[in-house]
Amino acid sequence: MNSEVRALLDKARASHEAATLLRREGYLDFAASRAYYALFYVAEALLLERGLSYSSHSAVIAAFGREFARTGNLDPRFHRYLIDAQDLRQVGDYGTGGNVTADQVDELLHWTLDFIVATEGFLSR
């Protein structure tokens, strides 16, 4: 694993920790956004490990699906996590009603840690 991939995984872990702190303090919209970014950084790290880099979120999510979910290299649930987390980030970042719930954030935090651990295992093989 090269240093850029490692840096993205470290950033994912830091984003997970930030999301956890935000959740604890009741900033649910912001916690959802940080949790999404943790997932996003993991997907970027995996793609970068294959020499792939994209400039938009939708391109990263689509490429992850193509390279890892459809091929079975990683469980397809991680692709679903990315898609669903992006939807919640949109609500958290751009919604004005504070519609992200504590249960949704808790689920995002679980997904984030699950994805990080699975990715580190995958990359260490």
CATH number at residue 7: 1.20.120.330
Stretch 82-102: mean pLDDT: 89
The whole-number pLDDT of residue 83 equals 97
Domain that holds residue 87: 3-124
Q: Over the stretch 4-48, which tens digit does the pLDDT of each residue have?
A: 999 999 999 999 999 999 999 999 999 999 999 999 999 999 999
The C-alpha atoms of residue 61 and residue 56 are separated, in whole angstroms, by: 9
The whole-number pLDDT of residue 6 equals 97
Task: Give the residue from 59, 46, 51 showing the smallest Cα distance to 9.
Answer: 46
Q: Over the stretch 55-83, which tens digit does the pLDDT of each residue have?
A: 999 999 999 999 999 999 999 999 999 99
Greatest Cα pair distance in the chain:
44
Stretch 74-102: mean pLDDT: 91
The C-alpha atoms of residue 85 and residue 116 are separated, in whole angstroms, by: 15
This prediction has a pTM of 0.95
As given in the structure block, the two tokens for residue 52 are 């792939």
Q: Is the pLDDT of residue 98 over 80?
A: no
- Please give the tally of structural domains in the chain: 1
